[in-house]
Structure 1
Amino acid sequence: MSSVSESRLSDIIDALYAGSGDPREWPGLLGPICTYLDAEVGQVVVGDHTRSRWDGDYYYALTPNRDEADLTDFLAAHGATDPRRKLFLASEGRVWLDHEMEPPGFDASPIVRDFLDPLEIRRQIAAVVVRDETTIATLTVMRSRAAGPFTAVHADRFSLLLPHFRRSFHIHKALRQAAGVAQGAAAFVESLDNPVILCNGGGQVVLANEAARALSRQGALSLRGGRLSLPRAADEGRLNACIAAVFGHDRRLGRGKAGHEPCGAMGIAVPRPDPKPPLRLLVCPLPGAHALADASPGTSLVALVGVGDTTDRPLGTLLASLYDLTAAETRLVDQLRRGLSLKEAADALGVAHSTTRTQLANVFAKTQTSRQSELVGLVGRVASLQAPL
Protein backbone atom coordinates (compact mmCIF):
# COMPACT_ATOMS: atom_id res chain seq x y z
CA MET A 1 0.00 0.00 0.00
CA SER A 2 1.31 3.44 -0.90
CA SER A 3 2.04 6.03 1.76
CA VAL A 4 -0.91 8.09 0.47
CA SER A 5 -3.30 5.15 0.91
CA GLU A 6 -1.90 4.43 4.38
CA SER A 7 -2.44 8.05 5.36
CA ARG A 8 -6.03 7.98 4.09
CA LEU A 9 -6.72 4.74 5.94
CA SER A 10 -5.29 6.20 9.14
CA ASP A 11 -7.44 9.31 8.80
CA ILE A 12 -10.61 7.21 8.35
CA ILE A 13 -9.83 5.05 11.38
CA ASP A 14 -9.01 8.09 13.52
CA ALA A 15 -12.30 9.74 12.53
CA LEU A 16 -14.21 6.52 13.20
CA TYR A 17 -12.94 6.18 16.77
CA ALA A 18 -13.35 9.89 17.41
CA GLY A 19 -17.11 9.32 17.08
CA SER A 20 -19.48 7.31 19.23
CA GLY A 21 -19.51 4.21 17.00
CA ASP A 22 -23.14 4.84 16.05
CA PRO A 23 -23.63 3.66 12.43
CA ARG A 24 -25.62 6.82 11.79
CA GLU A 25 -22.30 8.67 11.99
CA TRP A 26 -20.72 6.49 9.31
CA PRO A 27 -22.12 8.43 6.31
CA GLY A 28 -19.75 11.25 7.22
CA LEU A 29 -16.88 8.91 6.36
CA LEU A 30 -18.20 7.79 2.98
CA GLY A 31 -16.43 10.56 1.06
CA PRO A 32 -12.96 9.71 2.44
CA ILE A 33 -13.68 5.99 2.01
CA CYS A 34 -14.52 6.51 -1.67
CA THR A 35 -11.29 8.45 -2.18
CA TYR A 36 -9.31 5.72 -0.42
CA LEU A 37 -10.86 3.01 -2.64
CA ASP A 38 -11.04 4.89 -5.97
CA ALA A 39 -14.83 4.70 -5.79
CA GLU A 40 -17.47 7.21 -6.85
CA VAL A 41 -20.37 6.37 -4.53
CA GLY A 42 -20.47 5.08 -0.96
CA GLN A 43 -23.45 3.49 0.77
CA VAL A 44 -24.35 2.54 4.34
CA VAL A 45 -27.41 0.43 5.09
CA VAL A 46 -28.41 -0.27 8.69
CA GLY A 47 -31.53 -2.05 9.82
CA ASP A 48 -33.35 -4.87 11.53
CA HIS A 49 -32.66 -8.09 9.65
CA THR A 50 -35.54 -9.88 11.38
CA ARG A 51 -37.97 -7.90 9.23
CA SER A 52 -39.14 -9.36 5.93
CA ARG A 53 -38.54 -6.34 3.69
CA TRP A 54 -35.75 -3.88 3.13
CA ASP A 55 -37.82 -0.80 2.42
CA GLY A 56 -39.31 1.05 5.38
CA ASP A 57 -37.34 -0.87 8.01
CA TYR A 58 -33.88 0.36 7.12
CA TYR A 59 -31.72 3.43 7.39
CA TYR A 60 -29.88 4.42 4.21
CA ALA A 61 -27.10 6.86 3.42
CA LEU A 62 -25.14 7.68 0.29
CA THR A 63 -22.25 9.99 -0.39
CA PRO A 64 -23.44 13.62 -0.59
CA ASN A 65 -23.26 13.66 -4.39
CA ARG A 66 -26.07 11.11 -4.66
CA ASP A 67 -29.76 11.30 -3.82
CA GLU A 68 -30.81 8.78 -1.18
CA ALA A 69 -34.11 8.41 -3.03
CA ASP A 70 -32.16 6.52 -5.70
CA LEU A 71 -31.25 3.86 -3.18
CA THR A 72 -34.67 3.67 -1.56
CA ASP A 73 -36.32 3.32 -4.97
CA PHE A 74 -33.92 0.52 -5.87
CA LEU A 75 -34.47 -1.34 -2.60
CA ALA A 76 -38.24 -0.93 -2.80
CA ALA A 77 -38.25 -2.42 -6.29
CA HIS A 78 -35.63 -5.14 -5.95
CA GLY A 79 -34.40 -5.40 -2.35
CA ALA A 80 -36.39 -8.47 -1.35
CA THR A 81 -35.84 -10.33 -4.65
CA ASP A 82 -32.24 -9.33 -5.41
CA PRO A 83 -30.52 -12.69 -6.18
CA ARG A 84 -27.32 -11.46 -4.52
CA ARG A 85 -29.04 -10.75 -1.20
CA LYS A 86 -29.11 -14.20 0.42
CA LEU A 87 -25.46 -14.98 -0.27
CA PHE A 88 -24.29 -11.50 0.71
CA LEU A 89 -26.23 -11.22 3.97
CA ALA A 90 -25.14 -14.65 5.18
CA SER A 91 -21.44 -13.75 5.14
CA GLU A 92 -20.53 -11.27 7.85
CA GLY A 93 -17.05 -9.86 7.40
CA ARG A 94 -16.43 -11.23 3.91
CA VAL A 95 -15.52 -8.69 1.26
CA TRP A 96 -17.40 -9.27 -1.98
CA LEU A 97 -16.48 -7.98 -5.41
CA ASP A 98 -19.58 -7.60 -7.58
CA HIS A 99 -18.92 -10.56 -9.88
CA GLU A 100 -18.36 -12.93 -6.92
CA MET A 101 -21.95 -12.70 -5.69
CA GLU A 102 -23.78 -12.45 -9.02
CA PRO A 103 -25.54 -15.47 -10.54
CA PRO A 104 -25.17 -16.29 -14.26
CA GLY A 105 -27.06 -13.86 -16.49
CA PHE A 106 -27.19 -11.14 -13.83
CA ASP A 107 -25.61 -8.56 -16.15
CA ALA A 108 -28.69 -8.73 -18.40
CA SER A 109 -31.20 -8.53 -15.53
CA PRO A 110 -33.66 -5.65 -14.93
CA ILE A 111 -31.68 -4.68 -11.81
CA VAL A 112 -28.64 -3.85 -13.92
CA ARG A 113 -30.59 -2.44 -16.86
CA ASP A 114 -33.00 -0.23 -14.87
CA PHE A 115 -30.89 0.84 -11.91
CA LEU A 116 -27.22 -0.07 -11.63
CA ASP A 117 -26.13 1.12 -15.08
CA PRO A 118 -28.34 4.26 -15.20
CA LEU A 119 -27.13 5.25 -11.71
CA GLU A 120 -23.53 4.46 -12.72
CA ILE A 121 -22.99 2.08 -9.81
CA ARG A 122 -22.50 -1.18 -11.71
CA ARG A 123 -19.13 -2.02 -10.11
CA GLN A 124 -19.20 -2.67 -6.37
CA ILE A 125 -17.30 -3.84 -3.30
CA ALA A 126 -19.54 -4.75 -0.37
CA ALA A 127 -19.49 -6.39 3.04
CA VAL A 128 -21.75 -7.04 5.99
CA VAL A 129 -19.92 -5.12 8.69
CA VAL A 130 -22.06 -6.25 11.62
CA ARG A 131 -24.79 -8.82 12.09
CA ASP A 132 -26.05 -9.55 15.60
CA GLU A 133 -29.37 -10.71 17.05
CA THR A 134 -31.36 -7.99 15.29
CA THR A 135 -29.10 -5.41 13.66
CA ILE A 136 -27.35 -5.63 10.34
CA ALA A 137 -25.03 -2.97 8.94
CA THR A 138 -23.53 -3.07 5.46
CA LEU A 139 -20.92 -0.94 3.75
CA THR A 140 -20.65 -0.69 -0.05
CA VAL A 141 -18.57 1.39 -2.44
CA MET A 142 -19.51 1.67 -6.11
CA ARG A 143 -18.45 3.14 -9.42
CA SER A 144 -19.60 3.10 -13.02
CA ARG A 145 -19.06 0.34 -15.55
CA ALA A 146 -16.83 2.72 -17.50
CA ALA A 147 -14.49 3.08 -14.51
CA GLY A 148 -13.74 -0.63 -14.69
CA PRO A 149 -14.08 -3.38 -12.11
CA PHE A 150 -12.61 -3.15 -8.65
CA THR A 151 -9.55 -5.34 -8.15
CA ALA A 152 -8.25 -7.63 -5.43
CA VAL A 153 -6.06 -4.73 -4.27
CA HIS A 154 -9.18 -2.65 -3.67
CA ALA A 155 -10.79 -5.57 -1.83
CA ASP A 156 -7.73 -5.88 0.42
CA ARG A 157 -7.87 -2.18 1.25
CA PHE A 158 -11.59 -2.45 1.96
CA SER A 159 -11.00 -5.39 4.31
CA LEU A 160 -8.66 -3.27 6.44
CA LEU A 161 -11.60 -1.04 7.36
CA LEU A 162 -13.98 -3.75 8.54
CA PRO A 163 -12.47 -4.71 11.94
CA HIS A 164 -12.48 -1.06 12.98
CA PHE A 165 -16.08 -0.47 11.93
CA ARG A 166 -17.11 -3.66 13.71
CA ARG A 167 -15.22 -2.75 16.88
CA SER A 168 -16.64 0.76 16.97
CA PHE A 169 -20.15 -0.63 16.55
CA HIS A 170 -19.73 -3.03 19.47
CA ILE A 171 -18.30 -0.24 21.64
CA HIS A 172 -21.36 1.83 20.80
CA LYS A 173 -23.66 -1.09 21.61
CA ALA A 174 -21.94 -1.75 24.94
CA LEU A 175 -22.18 1.92 25.90
CA ARG A 176 -25.89 1.97 25.07
CA GLN A 177 -26.48 -1.15 27.14
CA ALA A 178 -24.51 0.30 30.05
CA ALA A 179 -26.50 3.52 29.82
CA GLY A 180 -29.72 1.51 29.88
CA VAL A 181 -28.61 -0.41 32.97
CA ALA A 182 -27.57 2.81 34.71
CA GLN A 183 -30.88 4.48 33.89
CA GLY A 184 -32.78 1.45 35.15
CA ALA A 185 -30.75 1.34 38.37
CA ALA A 186 -31.19 5.07 38.94
CA ALA A 187 -34.94 4.68 38.39
CA PHE A 188 -34.96 1.85 40.93
CA VAL A 189 -33.18 4.01 43.52
CA GLU A 190 -35.67 6.80 42.82
CA SER A 191 -38.57 4.43 43.49
CA LEU A 192 -37.34 3.35 46.93
CA ASP A 193 -39.26 4.46 50.01
CA ASN A 194 -36.02 4.78 51.97
CA PRO A 195 -34.06 7.99 51.42
CA VAL A 196 -30.88 7.27 49.42
CA ILE A 197 -28.09 9.76 48.75
CA LEU A 198 -24.94 9.01 46.74
CA CYS A 199 -21.91 11.16 47.53
CA ASN A 200 -18.39 11.27 46.17
CA GLY A 201 -15.23 11.57 48.24
CA GLY A 202 -15.46 15.36 48.20
CA GLY A 203 -18.88 15.32 49.82
CA GLN A 204 -20.72 16.31 46.65
CA VAL A 205 -24.14 14.77 46.09
CA VAL A 206 -24.36 13.02 42.72
CA LEU A 207 -27.78 11.41 43.23
CA ALA A 208 -30.59 11.85 45.76
CA ASN A 209 -33.94 10.13 45.40
CA GLU A 210 -37.33 11.70 46.14
CA ALA A 211 -37.42 10.34 49.70
CA ALA A 212 -34.09 12.08 50.40
CA ARG A 213 -35.28 15.29 48.75
CA ALA A 214 -38.36 15.17 50.98
CA LEU A 215 -36.10 15.07 54.05
CA SER A 216 -34.30 18.10 52.67
CA ARG A 217 -37.57 19.98 52.28
CA GLN A 218 -38.45 19.07 55.89
CA GLY A 219 -35.15 20.49 57.12
CA ALA A 220 -33.76 17.18 58.42
CA LEU A 221 -30.77 17.65 56.11
CA SER A 222 -29.72 19.98 53.31
CA LEU A 223 -28.83 19.24 49.69
CA ARG A 224 -28.24 22.85 48.71
CA GLY A 225 -25.50 23.57 46.23
CA GLY A 226 -25.06 19.87 45.55
CA ARG A 227 -23.58 19.24 48.99
CA LEU A 228 -24.96 17.24 51.90
CA SER A 229 -25.07 19.05 55.22
CA LEU A 230 -26.87 18.61 58.55
CA PRO A 231 -28.48 21.29 60.73
CA ARG A 232 -26.03 20.86 63.61
CA ALA A 233 -22.28 21.21 63.04
CA ALA A 234 -21.50 18.41 65.50
CA ASP A 235 -23.74 15.96 63.64
CA GLU A 236 -22.25 16.99 60.32
CA GLY A 237 -18.78 16.38 61.71
CA ARG A 238 -19.77 12.87 62.77
CA LEU A 239 -21.26 12.21 59.34
CA ASN A 240 -18.11 13.42 57.57
CA ALA A 241 -16.04 11.17 59.82
CA CYS A 242 -18.23 8.20 58.82
CA ILE A 243 -17.80 8.95 55.12
CA ALA A 244 -14.03 9.36 55.49
CA ALA A 245 -13.80 6.09 57.41
CA VAL A 246 -15.78 4.21 54.77
CA PHE A 247 -13.56 5.58 52.01
CA GLY A 248 -10.52 4.58 54.02
CA HIS A 249 -11.77 0.99 54.22
CA ASP A 250 -12.16 0.29 50.51
CA ARG A 251 -8.92 1.00 48.65
CA ARG A 252 -10.84 0.93 45.37
CA LEU A 253 -12.76 3.96 46.60
CA GLY A 254 -9.87 6.09 47.78
CA ARG A 255 -8.04 6.90 50.97
CA GLY A 256 -9.76 8.05 54.11
CA LYS A 257 -8.42 10.82 56.31
CA ALA A 258 -5.58 9.98 58.62
CA GLY A 259 -6.70 8.76 62.01
CA HIS A 260 -9.94 7.14 60.87
CA GLU A 261 -10.33 3.44 61.54
CA PRO A 262 -11.14 1.61 58.26
CA CYS A 263 -14.61 0.09 58.13
CA GLY A 264 -16.97 -1.42 55.56
CA ALA A 265 -20.07 0.50 56.60
CA MET A 266 -21.03 2.77 59.46
CA GLY A 267 -24.22 3.95 61.05
CA ILE A 268 -25.02 7.37 62.42
CA ALA A 269 -28.12 8.58 64.27
CA VAL A 270 -29.02 12.25 63.86
CA PRO A 271 -31.42 13.69 66.47
CA ARG A 272 -34.47 15.60 65.29
CA PRO A 273 -36.97 17.75 67.18
CA ASP A 274 -39.51 15.81 69.23
CA PRO A 275 -41.71 13.94 68.55
CA LYS A 276 -39.84 12.89 65.41
CA PRO A 277 -37.56 9.85 65.78
CA PRO A 278 -33.86 10.32 65.00
CA LEU A 279 -32.73 10.16 61.40
CA ARG A 280 -30.63 7.02 61.20
CA LEU A 281 -28.25 6.75 58.25
CA LEU A 282 -26.20 3.79 57.11
CA VAL A 283 -23.08 4.83 55.16
CA CYS A 284 -21.95 2.14 52.68
CA PRO A 285 -19.19 2.01 50.02
CA LEU A 286 -20.28 1.63 46.40
CA PRO A 287 -17.27 0.55 44.29
CA GLY A 288 -17.83 0.75 40.54
CA ALA A 289 -21.15 2.59 40.85
CA HIS A 290 -20.20 5.76 38.95
CA ALA A 291 -22.48 4.83 36.03
CA LEU A 292 -25.49 4.66 38.34
CA ALA A 293 -25.13 8.33 39.17
CA ASP A 294 -23.85 9.49 35.77
CA ALA A 295 -20.51 10.32 37.38
CA SER A 296 -17.11 10.20 35.71
CA PRO A 297 -15.44 6.78 35.45
CA GLY A 298 -13.34 6.09 38.51
CA THR A 299 -15.42 8.37 40.72
CA SER A 300 -15.59 7.04 44.28
CA LEU A 301 -19.07 6.88 45.77
CA VAL A 302 -20.73 6.08 49.07
CA ALA A 303 -24.43 5.60 49.69
CA LEU A 304 -26.23 7.09 52.66
CA VAL A 305 -29.38 5.09 53.27
CA GLY A 306 -32.01 6.25 55.73
CA VAL A 307 -33.20 3.21 57.67
CA GLY A 308 -35.95 4.90 59.67
CA ASP A 309 -36.68 4.27 63.33
CA THR A 310 -34.94 1.00 64.15
CA THR A 311 -35.17 0.96 67.94
CA ASP A 312 -38.04 -1.51 67.98
CA ARG A 313 -36.71 -3.84 65.30
CA PRO A 314 -34.74 -6.99 66.19
CA LEU A 315 -31.13 -6.79 65.07
CA GLY A 316 -31.51 -9.88 62.87
CA THR A 317 -34.48 -8.34 61.08
CA LEU A 318 -32.57 -5.12 60.51
CA LEU A 319 -29.52 -6.96 59.15
CA ALA A 320 -31.68 -9.06 56.85
CA SER A 321 -33.43 -6.00 55.42
CA LEU A 322 -30.23 -3.99 54.96
CA TYR A 323 -28.16 -6.73 53.35
CA ASP A 324 -30.78 -9.07 51.87
CA LEU A 325 -29.71 -11.94 54.13
CA THR A 326 -31.68 -15.16 54.17
CA ALA A 327 -33.07 -16.49 57.44
CA ALA A 328 -30.28 -19.10 57.61
CA GLU A 329 -27.59 -16.49 56.93
CA THR A 330 -29.07 -14.22 59.60
CA ARG A 331 -29.00 -17.04 62.17
CA LEU A 332 -25.36 -17.74 61.31
CA VAL A 333 -24.40 -14.07 61.72
CA ASP A 334 -26.14 -14.03 65.11
CA GLN A 335 -24.03 -16.99 66.27
CA LEU A 336 -20.80 -15.44 65.02
CA ARG A 337 -21.44 -12.10 66.70
CA ARG A 338 -21.81 -14.01 69.99
CA GLY A 339 -18.19 -15.12 69.62
CA LEU A 340 -18.65 -18.65 68.27
CA SER A 341 -16.28 -20.07 65.68
CA LEU A 342 -17.69 -21.19 62.35
CA LYS A 343 -17.57 -24.86 63.40
CA GLU A 344 -19.19 -24.06 66.76
CA ALA A 345 -21.90 -22.11 64.95
CA ALA A 346 -22.53 -25.10 62.66
CA ASP A 347 -22.91 -27.39 65.69
CA ALA A 348 -25.21 -24.92 67.46
CA LEU A 349 -27.41 -24.60 64.37
CA GLY A 350 -27.40 -28.34 63.68
CA VAL A 351 -26.03 -28.04 60.13
CA ALA A 352 -22.91 -29.28 58.37
CA HIS A 353 -19.72 -27.26 58.59
CA SER A 354 -19.66 -27.07 54.78
CA THR A 355 -23.11 -25.46 54.86
CA THR A 356 -21.99 -22.68 57.18
CA ARG A 357 -18.89 -22.10 55.02
CA THR A 358 -21.14 -21.55 52.00
CA GLN A 359 -23.48 -19.31 53.98
CA LEU A 360 -20.57 -17.25 55.31
CA ALA A 361 -19.21 -16.75 51.79
CA ASN A 362 -22.63 -15.43 50.75
CA VAL A 363 -22.74 -13.11 53.76
CA PHE A 364 -19.26 -11.77 52.96
CA ALA A 365 -20.36 -10.99 49.40
CA LYS A 366 -23.57 -9.26 50.50
CA THR A 367 -21.93 -7.16 53.23
CA GLN A 368 -18.68 -6.45 51.34
CA THR A 369 -16.62 -7.92 54.16
CA SER A 370 -13.91 -10.57 53.91
CA ARG A 371 -13.17 -11.75 57.46
CA GLN A 372 -15.29 -12.83 60.41
CA SER A 373 -13.83 -10.10 62.61
CA GLU A 374 -14.73 -7.53 59.97
CA LEU A 375 -18.26 -8.91 59.73
CA VAL A 376 -18.72 -8.85 63.50
CA GLY A 377 -17.51 -5.24 63.56
CA LEU A 378 -20.05 -4.34 60.88
CA VAL A 379 -22.84 -5.99 62.87
CA GLY A 380 -21.82 -3.96 65.90
CA ARG A 381 -22.02 -0.73 63.92
CA VAL A 382 -25.46 -1.65 62.60
CA ALA A 383 -26.51 -2.43 66.17
CA SER A 384 -25.44 1.10 67.10
CA LEU A 385 -28.27 2.36 64.90
CA GLN A 386 -30.66 0.92 67.46
CA ALA A 387 -29.02 2.51 70.47
CA PRO A 388 -30.93 5.37 72.11
CA LEU A 389 -29.35 8.80 71.72
Structure 2
Amino acid sequence: LLIGEGREVCFANRAAQTLLGAGDGLRLRADGLGRSWLHAASPDAQRAVDAALDACLAPDKLDVPHFSQALTMRRTSGRPGYTLQMSALPRVNEFGTGPQSPQAIVFLSDPARSLQVDEALLRKLYGLTPAECRLAVALCPGETVASVSAQFGVSVNTARCQLQSIFDKTGTRRQAQLVKLMLSLASQES
Protein backbone atom coordinates (compact mmCIF):
# COMPACT_ATOMS: atom_id res chain seq x y z
CA LEU A 1 0.00 0.00 0.00
CA LEU A 2 1.10 3.56 -0.66
CA ILE A 3 -0.10 6.07 1.93
CA GLY A 4 -0.58 9.84 1.53
CA GLU A 5 0.17 12.45 4.15
CA GLY A 6 -3.42 12.34 5.46
CA ARG A 7 -3.17 8.55 6.02
CA GLU A 8 -5.24 7.95 2.88
CA VAL A 9 -4.44 4.95 0.70
CA CYS A 10 -3.05 6.23 -2.61
CA PHE A 11 -2.50 2.79 -4.11
CA ALA A 12 -3.26 -0.82 -3.22
CA ASN A 13 -1.94 -3.63 -5.39
CA ARG A 14 -4.11 -6.62 -6.28
CA ALA A 15 -2.81 -8.75 -3.39
CA ALA A 16 -3.59 -5.98 -0.87
CA GLN A 17 -7.03 -5.42 -2.39
CA THR A 18 -7.80 -9.13 -2.07
CA LEU A 19 -6.56 -9.30 1.52
CA LEU A 20 -8.39 -6.12 2.58
CA GLY A 21 -11.48 -7.06 0.57
CA ALA A 22 -11.97 -10.08 2.81
CA GLY A 23 -12.68 -7.69 5.71
CA ASP A 24 -11.08 -10.10 8.17
CA GLY A 25 -9.93 -7.61 10.82
CA LEU A 26 -8.66 -5.00 8.38
CA ARG A 27 -10.29 -3.39 5.36
CA LEU A 28 -10.37 -0.25 3.26
CA ARG A 29 -12.97 2.32 4.32
CA ALA A 30 -14.06 4.74 1.58
CA ASP A 31 -15.29 8.28 2.15
CA GLY A 32 -17.49 8.51 -0.95
CA LEU A 33 -15.11 11.00 -2.60
CA GLY A 34 -12.80 8.39 -4.07
CA ARG A 35 -10.46 8.24 -1.06
CA SER A 36 -10.00 5.35 1.33
CA TRP A 37 -8.21 4.59 4.58
CA LEU A 38 -7.11 1.49 6.44
CA HIS A 39 -9.83 0.54 8.89
CA ALA A 40 -9.28 -2.02 11.65
CA ALA A 41 -12.11 -4.03 13.20
CA SER A 42 -11.39 -2.93 16.77
CA PRO A 43 -10.76 0.56 18.18
CA ASP A 44 -7.51 -0.59 19.84
CA ALA A 45 -6.23 -2.01 16.56
CA GLN A 46 -7.22 1.20 14.75
CA ARG A 47 -5.28 3.28 17.28
CA ALA A 48 -2.22 1.07 16.70
CA VAL A 49 -2.48 1.45 12.91
CA ASP A 50 -2.93 5.23 13.21
CA ALA A 51 0.01 5.58 15.61
CA ALA A 52 2.32 3.59 13.33
CA LEU A 53 1.25 5.60 10.28
CA ASP A 54 1.64 8.87 12.19
CA ALA A 55 5.22 7.89 13.06
CA CYS A 56 5.91 7.30 9.36
CA LEU A 57 4.26 10.59 8.38
CA ALA A 58 5.81 12.79 11.10
CA PRO A 59 7.84 15.85 9.97
CA ASP A 60 11.07 14.13 11.05
CA LYS A 61 9.95 10.87 9.43
CA LEU A 62 13.22 10.17 7.68
CA ASP A 63 14.93 9.97 11.06
CA VAL A 64 12.79 6.89 11.77
CA PRO A 65 14.61 3.70 10.67
CA HIS A 66 13.10 2.01 7.62
CA PHE A 67 10.35 -0.48 8.42
CA SER A 68 10.69 0.12 12.16
CA GLN A 69 6.93 0.52 12.38
CA ALA A 70 5.48 -2.97 12.44
CA LEU A 71 2.48 -4.59 14.03
CA THR A 72 0.32 -7.66 13.96
CA MET A 73 -3.34 -7.18 13.20
CA ARG A 74 -5.77 -9.65 14.76
CA ARG A 75 -8.28 -11.19 12.42
CA THR A 76 -11.96 -11.49 13.23
CA SER A 77 -11.94 -15.06 11.87
CA GLY A 78 -9.43 -16.18 14.51
CA ARG A 79 -6.85 -17.13 11.86
CA PRO A 80 -3.25 -15.96 12.42
CA GLY A 81 -3.02 -12.17 12.30
CA TYR A 82 -1.75 -10.07 9.43
CA THR A 83 1.66 -8.47 9.68
CA LEU A 84 1.99 -4.82 8.70
CA GLN A 85 5.42 -3.29 8.11
CA MET A 86 5.55 0.45 7.46
CA SER A 87 8.18 2.90 6.37
CA ALA A 88 8.39 6.58 5.49
CA LEU A 89 9.07 7.66 1.93
CA PRO A 90 10.99 10.80 0.97
CA ARG A 91 8.80 13.78 0.01
CA VAL A 92 9.88 13.29 -3.62
CA ASN A 93 9.94 9.59 -4.45
CA GLU A 94 9.60 7.15 -7.31
CA PHE A 95 5.83 6.89 -6.76
CA GLY A 96 5.03 10.58 -7.33
CA THR A 97 5.85 14.19 -6.57
CA GLY A 98 4.03 17.10 -5.02
CA PRO A 99 1.34 17.24 -2.36
CA GLN A 100 -0.47 14.16 -3.68
CA SER A 101 2.59 11.90 -3.65
CA PRO A 102 2.65 8.92 -1.29
CA GLN A 103 4.60 9.57 1.90
CA ALA A 104 4.64 6.08 3.42
CA ILE A 105 4.60 2.49 2.27
CA VAL A 106 2.89 -0.42 4.02
CA PHE A 107 3.58 -4.07 3.35
CA LEU A 108 0.79 -6.45 4.40
CA SER A 109 1.48 -10.13 4.78
CA ASP A 110 -0.74 -13.04 5.63
CA PRO A 111 1.08 -15.79 7.55
CA ALA A 112 -1.68 -18.22 6.56
CA ARG A 113 -0.30 -18.12 3.02
CA SER A 114 3.07 -19.45 2.00
CA LEU A 115 5.52 -17.35 0.05
CA GLN A 116 6.59 -18.59 -3.34
CA VAL A 117 9.66 -17.20 -5.09
CA ASP A 118 9.93 -18.12 -8.75
CA GLU A 119 13.42 -19.59 -9.19
CA ALA A 120 13.23 -19.03 -12.96
CA LEU A 121 12.73 -15.34 -12.25
CA LEU A 122 15.78 -15.29 -9.96
CA ARG A 123 17.87 -16.97 -12.65
CA LYS A 124 16.67 -14.50 -15.28
CA LEU A 125 16.99 -11.33 -13.17
CA TYR A 126 20.22 -12.08 -11.34
CA GLY A 127 21.88 -14.99 -13.12
CA LEU A 128 21.69 -17.22 -10.05
CA THR A 129 22.47 -20.90 -10.42
CA PRO A 130 19.81 -23.43 -9.36
CA ALA A 131 21.77 -24.11 -6.13
CA GLU A 132 22.00 -20.38 -5.41
CA CYS A 133 18.25 -20.01 -6.02
CA ARG A 134 17.47 -22.81 -3.56
CA LEU A 135 19.75 -21.23 -0.93
CA ALA A 136 18.31 -17.72 -1.37
CA VAL A 137 14.74 -19.01 -1.05
CA ALA A 138 15.58 -21.27 1.90
CA LEU A 139 17.00 -18.32 3.86
CA CYS A 140 13.73 -16.34 3.62
CA PRO A 141 12.01 -17.80 6.70
CA GLY A 142 15.00 -16.74 8.83
CA GLU A 143 17.02 -19.93 8.56
CA THR A 144 20.76 -19.84 9.19
CA VAL A 145 23.36 -20.77 6.61
CA ALA A 146 24.34 -23.72 8.83
CA SER A 147 20.80 -25.10 9.03
CA VAL A 148 20.22 -24.69 5.30
CA SER A 149 23.56 -26.33 4.45
CA ALA A 150 22.59 -29.34 6.59
CA GLN A 151 19.16 -29.45 4.92
CA PHE A 152 20.77 -29.49 1.46
CA GLY A 153 23.61 -31.85 2.40
CA VAL A 154 26.43 -29.42 1.60
CA SER A 155 29.18 -28.04 3.81
CA VAL A 156 28.70 -24.74 5.62
CA ASN A 157 31.68 -23.41 3.67
CA THR A 158 30.02 -24.31 0.35
CA ALA A 159 26.81 -22.58 1.42
CA ARG A 160 28.77 -19.49 2.53
CA CYS A 161 30.54 -19.35 -0.85
CA GLN A 162 27.19 -19.64 -2.62
CA LEU A 163 25.76 -16.91 -0.38
CA GLN A 164 28.67 -14.59 -1.22
CA SER A 165 28.04 -15.24 -4.92
CA ILE A 166 24.33 -14.45 -4.39
CA PHE A 167 25.27 -11.18 -2.64
CA ASP A 168 27.53 -10.24 -5.55
CA LYS A 169 24.92 -11.05 -8.20
CA THR A 170 22.00 -9.34 -6.41
CA GLY A 171 23.90 -6.31 -5.15
CA THR A 172 23.11 -7.12 -1.53
CA ARG A 173 25.63 -7.26 1.32
CA ARG A 174 23.79 -8.90 4.19
CA GLN A 175 21.37 -11.76 4.63
CA ALA A 176 18.66 -9.33 5.80
CA GLN A 177 18.97 -7.36 2.55
CA LEU A 178 18.78 -10.56 0.54
CA VAL A 179 15.66 -11.71 2.40
CA LYS A 180 14.04 -8.31 1.80
CA LEU A 181 14.81 -8.65 -1.91
CA MET A 182 13.42 -12.21 -2.02
CA LEU A 183 10.25 -11.12 -0.23
CA SER A 184 9.77 -8.28 -2.71
CA LEU A 185 9.80 -10.85 -5.52
CA ALA A 186 7.61 -13.38 -3.74
CA SER A 187 3.97 -14.10 -4.37
CA GLN A 188 1.62 -15.55 -1.79
CA GLU A 189 -0.21 -18.79 -2.39
CA SER A 190 -3.01 -20.31 -0.36
TM-score (norm 2): 0.50
Q: 1:222 aligns with which of 28, 31, 45?
A: 28
Equivalents in 1 of 2:50, 2:62: separation in Å? 10
CA distance in 1, matches of 2:137, 2:17: 32
- How far apart are the structure 2 equivalents of 1:312 and 1:209? 17
CA distance in 2, matches of 1:336, 1:243: 35
The 8 Å contact of residues 267 and 283 in structure 1, kept in 2 or not, is answered as yes
Name the Cα RMSD after superposition: 4.6
Give the Cα–Cα distance (whole angstroms) in 1 for the partners of residues 48 and 3 of structure 2.
15
Distance in 1 separating the partners of 2:57 and 2:165: 28
Displacement of 1:205 in angstroms is: 1.5
Q: Hey, what does 1:181 align to over in structure 2?
A: none
Letter of the aligned partner of 1:236 in structure 2? Q
Counting only pairs closer than 5 Å after superposition, residues 239-388 of structure 1 correspond to structure 2 as 239-243=49-53, 255-256=60-61, 262-264=65-67, 267-274=70-77, 277-283=80-86, 288-291=93-96, 296=98, 299-308=101-110, 310-311=111-112, 313=114, 317=115, 320=117, 326-331=133-138, 334-335=143-144, 348=156, 350-351=158-159, 353=161, 355-360=162-167, 365=172, 375=176
Q: Is the 2:2–2:102 Cα contact (8 Å) retained in structure 1? A: no
Does the Cα contact within 8 Å between 1:245 and 1:263 map onto a contact in 2? Answer: no
Structure with a larger share of its residues in strand: 2
What is aligned with 2:188?
none
Give the CA deviation at 1:208. Answer: 2.8
- Alpha-carbon shift at residue 207 of structure 1 (Å): 1.6
Answer whether contact 1:245 1:257 (CA < 8 A) is retained.
no
What amino acid maps onto 1:296 in structure 2? G
Shift of 1:356: 3.0
Query: Higher helix proportion, which one?
Result: 1
What TM-score comes out, normalization by structure 1 length?
0.29
Q: Are 2:39 and 1:208 aligned?
A: no
* Matched ranges for 1:108-147 at <5 A: none
Partners of 1:352 and 1:231 in 2: how far apart?
Answer: 45
| Aligned mates of 1:337, 1:268 — CA distance in 2 | 30
Give the letter for the 2:167 counterpart. L
Cα distance per residue 1:213-240 (max 9 Å; x no partner) = 5635747323323332323232223334
C-alpha contact (below 8 Å) 2:3/2:10 kept by paired residues: yes
- Tell whether the 8 Å contact from 1:246 to 1:264 is kept in structure 2 after alignment: no
In structure 2, the residue matched to 1:46 is none
% identical equivalent positions: 14
**In 1: Cα distance, 2:52 partner to 2:144 partner:** 27
Q: 1:270: how far off? A: 1.4
How far off its partner does 1:271 sit? 1.5
Which structure 1 residue ranges, 5 or more long, are not aligned?
A: 1-196, 249-253, 339-345, 383-389
CA contact (8 A) 1:285 1:302 kept: yes
